Structure 1
């Protein structure tokens, strides 16, 4: 898979990328509108700002981020972009990149239906 690199923010992406506030951000748009690029440019900007701040305060705790996508293909693509855009820093950067389904399954790990009930239900179909 070809990984695009050296992205520059478009005028439409600048408000998303330049807002360096912590927390959850949902980026919505049509296919090919630059959602992934916007998110990763924002991630890079936030990591750079946090690295700068931690260097000023002589902090060495890792910067932890979570990036979730809806399918494996996009998660693999994002992984390549993350590796390309977040260079090795004096302060470690830990990026957890996964699909929403895998991340949820790992962290919640709750069975919604027992095996017996599942098998019984499937036999009825």
Structure 2
């Protein structure tokens, strides 16, 4: 008789489609920028905020929590005075850099074409 792992079989995914589930979480406005900023190593909250620039403190905090919840980012609290908190990529976060960089390269290579097509779209749509 083959023994099965009942816990794995009984697991119910919040979102059964892996692509939609992952892209919904990392495809927001800030996640890729945060992951890119953490590529070179651990950073404190204010350093991330300065590097990213136009993200609000509230949105940065919310996005970091989501990335931590999903296992991309590790938050380390140091018992020092003053208290120090650093964020860094986990092994999962590091592994995501490869496909992320491919996506970024594709976006950079095709951005002009996409923008030109968008700009031309209203005139094409009116011609229908």
TM over 0.5: same fold? no
TM-score, structure 1 normalization: 0.25
Higher RCO (CA 8 Å, separation ≥ 6 residues): 1
Which structure is larger by alpha-carbon Rg, 1 or 2?
A: 2
